Homo-oligomer: A and B are copies of this chain.
């Protein structure tokens, strides 16, 4: 028998805290009965909810914590007040201590990343972590990173992200050599920032065993699913992610208002209701909830703060998959294969045909 996947939960994170986190974990447990849980949170708020989920309770170790990081705490403030004592810190620390395989939190991203970096540290050969999001596309799903861990990226960091993102893609999409694109403002080689061009040259020249470098991609390639993994620095990645979310909401609102404007439209809506339901399902952000922190010496999953139990369960599922398919080992293996590239000298000084 294989050993269980041990999931540490910050029950106090997110807009609704334990009322969403605990039922969400129960849903995920139902799908993955070989999970166990270590839950950190305020006992007065958590235990009554846990009592309503006896199956979850049976596989949970609960730890009371007094401090909860707030959604609007600055990272420095969260570290100062929440280090060692908050539910968020304790969940991450459980991974550090080897008491859990993954930490999941719906708490504030900045604080979670600051604590995760402080507690887990970055992997060998990785300077900076990244947050990877799963992005629904016309062809299925793609992985986009970095969606907001750090601002700015040099060529080496972009390559690290390509390596880490494709390790994650091997698990999520179950393929051996995912295609990887660098996000840029044009597909011609001449365009874009120096770091992106330089990373592109290195990726093209070096044959990484576990990825298939496809060149530059533009913003509209993300939704098309042109590549499995889209790599960009955190400022542009975060803006792309939020712009896409905003556009999806905007179109949903157009659609709602169009379908309620006339009697004919309302009748049409009733006939096509199941089609609309499947569309809503397709656009449901809860289905792909969960950002994966990459580049740390441990796995941490960030759930959307405003999600419901279904969304939270998706984040826990994602964490489960990352553990089950050994994300960290896959990243390390790919990083080691990429090290010769780093030793080859500054790419900006090379010349190419």
**Using a CB–CB distance below 8 Å, which chain A residues touch chain B?**
72, 74, 110, 136-138, 148, 151-152, 183, 185-186, 188, 190-193, 218-224, 232, 234-236, 238-251, 253-255, 258-259, 261-262, 264-265, 267-276, 278-279, 282-283
6 cross-chain CB contacts under 8 A: A136-B250, A219-B244, A222-B243, A239-B240, A265-B274, A272-B272
Contacts of A223 in B (CB 8 A): 243, 246-247, 249-250
Q: A190-B74, A219-B246, A247-B248 are in contact. Are A262 and B239 (CB under 8 A)?
A: no
Contacts of A241 in B (CB 8 A): 219
Contacts of A151 in B (CB 8 A): 185, 192-193
Docked complex Cα distance between A271 and B270 (Å): 10
Q: A193-B235, A279-B255 are in contact. Are A185 and B148 (CB under 8 A)?
A: yes
* Contact, CB under 8 Å: B275 / A265: yes
Contacts of A244 in B (CB 8 A): 219, 243-244, 246-247
| Additional A-B contacts beyond A219-B244, A268-B273 (13; CB < 8 A) | A223-B243, A223-B246, A235-B236, A240-B243, A243-B244, A247-B247, A248-B251, A258-B272, A259-B275, A261-B275, A264-B275, A265-B272, A269-B272
Docked complex Cα distance between A218 and B241 (Å): 10
Which chain B residue shows the least CB distance to A249?
A: B223
In angstroms, how far is the closest chain B Cβ from the Cβ of A194?
9
In angstroms, how far is the closest chain B Cβ from the Cβ of A17?
21
Docked complex Cα distance between A255 and B269 (Å): 13
* Contact, CB under 8 Å: B220 / A243: yes
Which chain B residue shows the least CB distance to A190?
A: B74
* Contact, CB under 8 Å: A240 / B240: yes
Contacts of A110 in B (CB 8 A): 186, 191
* Contact, CB under 8 Å: B279 / A254: yes
Pick from B193, B240, B267, B275: contact of A219, CB below 8 A: B240
Docked complex Cα distance between A242 and B221 (Å): 8
* Contact, CB under 8 Å: B221 / A232: no
Contacts of A282 in B (CB 8 A): 254, 258
Docked complex Cα distance between A324 and B173 (Å): 55
Docked complex Cα distance between A265 and B278 (Å): 11
Which chain B residue shows the least CB distance to A151?
A: B193
Docked complex Cα distance between A326 and B36 (Å): 68
